[in-house]
Amino acid sequence: MKRTSHILLVEDDMDDVELARQGFIRSHHDVEIHHVPNGQLCLDYLMKVGSFANAITPDLILLDLNMPIMDGRAVLMEISQREQLKHLPVVVLTTSRAQTDVLYSYAMGCNSFIVKPVDFDDFQKTVNSICDYWFETSMLPISI
């Protein structure tokens, strides 16, 4: 029996959040999306601070780079420096195509860098590819 996979979507644009939710609903994977709109809340979620005390540790983090309060670059740096977090797979899902962002993201330990497709059909293909790879092909660490 397959278990539900948990994704933490770190995204400030609510249109992109809805696009992602619809994409995962239409995928053939049993995925539950947890959402936070900025990097500070992402870290609070991952560290189970405050209202996130009972948060489920995600199997995968989908991280936007350009957000208010704390951007994805700062989140990557924090995750890479925290022993209890650096095992978590992080996929940067962003509109940026800048090589500086690609290089920085990989240097800070991201596992994949994907440019967000703007077309829904292309986005759906991307969601299916992410799920197929991370939840079927790849072996993820199990959170205790």
CATH code for the domain in which residue 29 is found = 3.40.50.2300
DSSP lists the bridge partners of residue 90 as 61
Q: Report if residue 125 sits inside a domain.
A: yes
- C-alpha to C-alpha distance for 130 and 127, rounded to whole angstroms: 5
For the entire predicted model, the pTM comes to 0.93
- Examine residue 143 and state whether it is found in any structural domain, yes or no: no
Q: Which residues contact 19 (CB under 8 A, 6 or more apart)?
A: 120, 123
Length of the chain: 144
pLDDT tens per residue across span 69-100: 999 999 999 999 999 999 999 999 999 999 99
9 within some domain: yes
Query: How many domains does the chain divide into?
Result: 1
Say whether 113 sits in a helix, a strand or coil: strand
47's tokens: 């560290």
Instruction: Indicate whether 142 belongs to any domain.
Output: no
